[in-house]
Structure 1
């Protein structure tokens, strides 16, 4: 990812509702949720939620697919993985023990994802 893409993703997540949306969609898994379901779950007006989802889509944090007149959203785990990789790639400075707890959690999550 380029630096401007990283900044866009971080900016998108630096807002309370959008952070809640991302976490909700991570819990929903590959199935994702319809936009209306997301708005209802987070007690947010649908037009406001549409704006949040558009920002997150442009930032590479969610994917969408049309289902008739509705749009289903899912967390873009590849986008989040690229963001985390960018943030973590230079963190250890020759001391892998500093990053190993985070990397272990990510590795376990990836294994769990592959087992489903």
Structure 2
């Protein structure tokens, strides 16, 4: 289950960033994950719920994930098209010479933190 490693890395970045910003807690982390990364949503949620409790900064943090459908461009005709993980052939010309341009990303898009100043006022 590589989701444990992914979430652990995400939380490491979130905690480091929050500490550098003087945050009292991480409110939420937003991610963008491509379908081609083959991340299991239920495993990701489970790992998040378990691992976020390891640090007081992230104990109550939420995680939002935007899943990105795969998109490729055909080297033969230039057609850009969305597809699932298994059907990479160009629907316009039938070529198998395609290049993936979206769908493999794993990005931390944004993070919301709370600072001590925000708590007081």
What TM-score, normalized by structure 1, do the two folds share?
0.29
User: 1 or 2, which has the higher strand percentage?
Assistant: 2
Q: Which has the larger radius of gyration?
A: 2
RCO comparison, higher one (Cα < 8 Å, 6+): 2
User: 1 or 2, which has the higher helix percentage?
Assistant: 1
What TM-score, normalized by structure 2, do the two folds share?
0.28
